[in-house]
Amino acid sequence: MKKQEDRVCLAVIGAAHGVRGEVRVKPFGADPLALGAYGPLADESGTREFEVAALRPVKGGMLVVRFRGVADRDAAERLNGTRLYVDRDRLPPPGEDEFYHADLIGLGAVHIDGAPLGRVVAVPDFGAGDLLEIATGGGKTLLVPFTRAVVPEIDLAGGRLVVDPPPGLLDEAGADEDEEAGATEGPDR
């Protein structure tokens, strides 16, 4: 079995769709319809393979996929939550200023002034573009826009990236901590 860092998560299986074994799939790649072009996909453990028999796009950036050997709704429902991986060497190399999420997760994040911020734990996209979720310690996370202006330097070999947060971003993170401690401000009553 290949090491986890030699594989990239391309999608996650969601709910069953219909009664003939189709499932909804959330793709993570730039070209969702390419999901079937990489050959068999594997689950996180690498012990089960999935071959795409057919796929089609649906609303919300999702796909409806039929995998070979999944013939009914019961079998499809058992796949809910399964992450689908492919060996990194089957993927095209990222272009200039492109990164696989797997390469960003785990990088140390430092403020432009050199102060440590934390570690990248996820790269979510809630519809307005990619964000970096940075664990800052004590169970807190910070979301920063993944743009060249906010993240001007990425050093994959050095295991770090530099964050130049927009004004107020870190202040808001500090305000969240104050609120949890009971220090809130509001209108006079």
Q: What is the CATH number of the domain that holds 53?
A: 2.40.30.60
Alpha-helical (H) ranges within the chain are 73-77, 101-104, 169-180
Task: Give the neighbor-by-neighbor strand order of the sheet with 160-163.
Answer: 140-145, 131-137, 116-122, 108-111, 160-163, 153-155
pLDDT at 4: 55
| Domain end (from 62, 90, 118) | 90
> How many angstroms from the chain centroid is the CA of residue 31?
15
- Quick: pLDDT tens for 114-155: 999 999 999 887 777 889 999 998 889 999 999 999 999 999
| Amino acid letter, 138 | G
Domains in the chain, number: 2
Query: Cβ neighbours of residue 104 under 8 Å, at least 6 residues apart?
Result: 120, 123, 132, 154, 161
pLDDT at 5: 62
Give pairs for 90-96: CB < 8 Å, separation 24+. 90/38, 90/39, 91/8, 91/38
| Domain end (from 90, 113, 144) | 90
Place of tokens 């002034």: 113
pLDDT at 155: 94
Domain holding 174, by residue range, is 101-180
- What is the chain's pLDDT, residue by residue, as a tens digit (189 residues)? 444 568 888 999 999 999 999 999 999 877 888 898 988 999 999 999 999 999 999 988 899 999 999 999 999 999 999 999 999 888 888 888 888 888 899 999 999 999 999 999 998 877 778 899 999 988 899 999 999 999 999 999 999 999 999 888 877 555 444 444 444 343 333
Tokens of 110: 């430092």
| Amino acid letter, 70 | V
Closest by CA to 17, choosing from 77, 91, 60, 70, is 77
Q: In whole angstroms, what is the distance from residue 13 CA to residue 115 CA? A: 39
Query: Cβ neighbours of residue 100 under 8 Å, at least 6 residues apart?
Result: 8, 88, 91, 94
Query: Cβ neighbours of residue 81 under 8 Å, at least 6 residues apart?
Result: 12, 13, 14
| Residue 146's CATH number | 2.30.30.240
Is residue 113 in a domain? Answer: yes
Do 60 and 119 belong to one domain?
A: no
Model pTM? Answer: 0.69
pLDDT at 173: 56
Do 37 and 105 belong to one domain?
A: no
Do 52 and 111 belong to one domain?
A: no
Do 84 and 114 belong to one domain?
A: no
Q: In whole angstroms, what is the distance from residue 107 CA to residue 55 CA? A: 34
Do 124 and 53 belong to one domain?
A: no
Is residue 185 in a domain? Answer: no
Do 67 and 125 belong to one domain?
A: no
Is residue 109 in a domain? Answer: yes
Do 129 and 69 belong to one domain?
A: no
